[in-house]
């Protein structure tokens, strides 16, 4: 997590600012991040939560302010930015960031942002290296496994697939927010989708070969299939952008991509927690509940984006193709978020059955 120092007291804070008139709050938050920390990326339009702190005004008054916190996935760190001479920026682990800030509620938000820390999921690694990572299965179950036939490496496969989904969502964000290197972003999405296809084939084969599975076989195949639907639709969206040479990405599209990036982050945290469903049931429910809420917000963005596009081009016969292209891209973005909701439902089903 990136923190910056405040201009006067030099304590560690997150970039923030006052509302900007008609500018949407999450857009304003992203602008503040660029001005104060020199970073750009996809911002999720749904806040993680809020906290309160007391700010001293130049008048001498000390007023309580409420701050909504939006997650922003950093794609670019600028070498120079508006407040570079007034602030220091630094990357922290989540635990260190929570200790560095003074506001207790903000520290709690930081700690809850990603309790499982998905750093390993965001690193590009081979399926083999993912499978060789140390198992976190509980000691009693690990002992029991030794007495039975092979149980399969399902948790490693889930997490490796989540790695591909996360990486593809970040590449999709760069495609929709960065005017350069379009071909590279599209190619990366395709490569990540290919990696995911290899993982799902190995998963389905392992289901057939394995005597003892951690969950019902139907739950395993449904979960990995829902995850695969998400990355398949990412590739479909990228292919549509490439096919039509589309460059006029609208705010609603970028907001939906911001939701997709944050959904990938939540997925990367949730999958390792399935190693101990009973112990992690509460956190899993929190994560799936947020995924479902974000899907509802994405539906609103989808409708709003189509309405704006129809108002611009629907009444003009010459603009019919431009509207059709936008409708197709919105369709794929909506299907990506729908697939994440399906993943959330599958995880909830596993929690109900096994917690």
The predicted model gives 47-58 an average pLDDT of 81
Of 94-103, 172-181, 224-233, 274-283, the one with minimum mean pLDDT is 172-181
**CATH code, domain carrying 58:** 3.90.79.10
Please give the residue range of the domain that contains residue 126.
Answer: 2-139
Inter-CA distances, 153 with 159, 195, 278, 353, Å: 10, 17, 19, 20
Quick check: helix, strand or coil at residue 181?
Answer: coil
- Cβ neighbours for 38, distance < 8 A, ≥ 6 positions apart: 77, 78, 79, 80, 81, 82, 84, 89
Are both 116 and 159 inside the same structural domain?
Answer: no
Confidence tier at 140 by pLDDT (50, 70, 90): very low
Q: Is the pLDDT of residue 296 over 60?
A: yes
Are both 33 and 162 inside the same structural domain?
Answer: no
181 — alpha (psi -120 to 50), left (phi > 0) or beta? left
Are both 77 and 174 inside the same structural domain?
Answer: no
Q: Which of these three, 90, 106, 139, is where a domain ends?
A: 139
Please give the order of strands across the beta sheet that includes 12-13: 12-13, 2-5, 89-91
Are both 308 and 276 inside the same structural domain?
Answer: yes
Quick check: helix, strand or coil at residue 240?
Answer: helix
Nearest Cα to 245, choosing from 183, 307, 333, 188?
Answer: 183
The per-residue pLDDT for 115 is: 52
Are both 135 and 161 inside the same structural domain?
Answer: no
Are both 6 and 119 inside the same structural domain?
Answer: yes
Q: Which of these three, 85, 105, 139, is where a domain ends?
A: 139
Are both 198 and 341 inside the same structural domain?
Answer: yes
Q: Which of these three, 83, 112, 139, is where a domain ends?
A: 139
Are both 210 and 233 inside the same structural domain?
Answer: yes
Are both 160 and 193 inside the same structural domain?
Answer: yes
The percentage of residues in the chain with a pLDDT greater than 90, rounded to a whole number, is 66
Report the C-alpha gap between 289 and 162 in whole angstroms: 18
The per-residue pLDDT for 264 is: 95
Q: Structurally, how many domains does the chain consist of? A: 2
Report the C-alpha gap between 114 and 108 in whole angstroms: 11
Sequence-ordered strand ranges (E) for 201-274: none
- Backbone angles phi and psi of 13, in degrees to 5: -140, 175
The predicted model gives 49-60 an average pLDDT of 77
**CATH code, domain carrying 238:** 1.20.58.220
Are both 118 and 100 inside the same structural domain?
Answer: yes
Considering the chain, what is the average pLDDT of its residues?
A: 86
Looking up tokens 């008139």, which residue turns up? 21
Do residues 255 and 26 lie in contact, with contact meaning Cβ atoms separated by under 8 Å?
Answer: yes
Confidence tier at 65 by pLDDT (50, 70, 90): confident
The predicted model gives 231-240 an average pLDDT of 97
Q: Is the pLDDT of residue 332 over 50?
A: yes
The pLDDT tens digits of the residues spanning 80-114 come to 999 999 999 999 999 999 999 999 889 988 888 76
Provide the H-helix boundaries in 68-153. 94-100, 104-113, 119-122, 127-131, 139-145
Are both 188 and 315 inside the same structural domain?
Answer: yes
Are both 229 and 331 inside the same structural domain?
Answer: yes
């Amino acid at each position: 997590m990136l923190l910056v120092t405040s201009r006067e007291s030099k304590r560690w804070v997150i970039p923030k600012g006052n509302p900007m008139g008609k500018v949407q709050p999450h857009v304003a938050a992203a602008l503040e991040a660029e001005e104060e920390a020199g970073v750009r990326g996809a911002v999720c339009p749904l806040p993680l939560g809020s906290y309160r702190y007391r700010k001293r005004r130049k008048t001498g008054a000390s007023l309580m302010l409420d701050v909504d916190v939006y997650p922003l996935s950093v794609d670019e760190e600028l070498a120079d930015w508006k407040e570079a001479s007034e602030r220091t920026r630094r990357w922290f682990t989540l635990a260190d960031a929570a200790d560095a800030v003074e506001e207790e509620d903000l520290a709690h938000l930081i700690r809850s942002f990603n309790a499982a820390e998905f750093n390993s999921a965001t690193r590009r690694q081979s399926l083999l290296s993912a499978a060789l990572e140390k198992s976190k299965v509980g000691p009693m179950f690990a002992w029991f496994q030794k007495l039975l036939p092979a149980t399969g490496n399902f948790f490693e496969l889930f997490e490796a697939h989540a790695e591909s989904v996360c990486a593809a969502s970040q590449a999709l964000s760069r495609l929709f927010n960065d005017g350069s290197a379009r071909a590279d972003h599209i190619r990366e999405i395709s490569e990540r989708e290919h990696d995911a296809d290899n993982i799902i084939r190995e998963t389905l084969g392992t289901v057939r070969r394995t005597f003892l599975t951690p969950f019902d076989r139907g739950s395993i195949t449904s979960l990995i299939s829902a995850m695969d639907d998400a990355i398949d639709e990412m590739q479909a969206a990228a292919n549509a952008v490439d096919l039509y040479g589309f460059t006029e990405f609208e705010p609603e599209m970028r907001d939906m991509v911001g939701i997709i990036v944050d959904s990938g982050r939540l997925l990367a945290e949730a999958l390792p927690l399935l190693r101990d469903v009973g112990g992690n049931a509460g956190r899993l429910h929190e994560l799936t509940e947020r995924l479902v809420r974000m899907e509802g917000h994405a539906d609103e963005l989808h409708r709003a984006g189509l309405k704006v596009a129809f108002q611009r081009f629907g009444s003009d016969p010459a603009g019919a193709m431009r509207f059709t292209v936008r409708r197709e891209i919105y369709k794929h973005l909506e299907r990506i978020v729908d697939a994440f909701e399906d993943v959330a439902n599958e995880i909830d089903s596993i929690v109900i059955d096994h917690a």
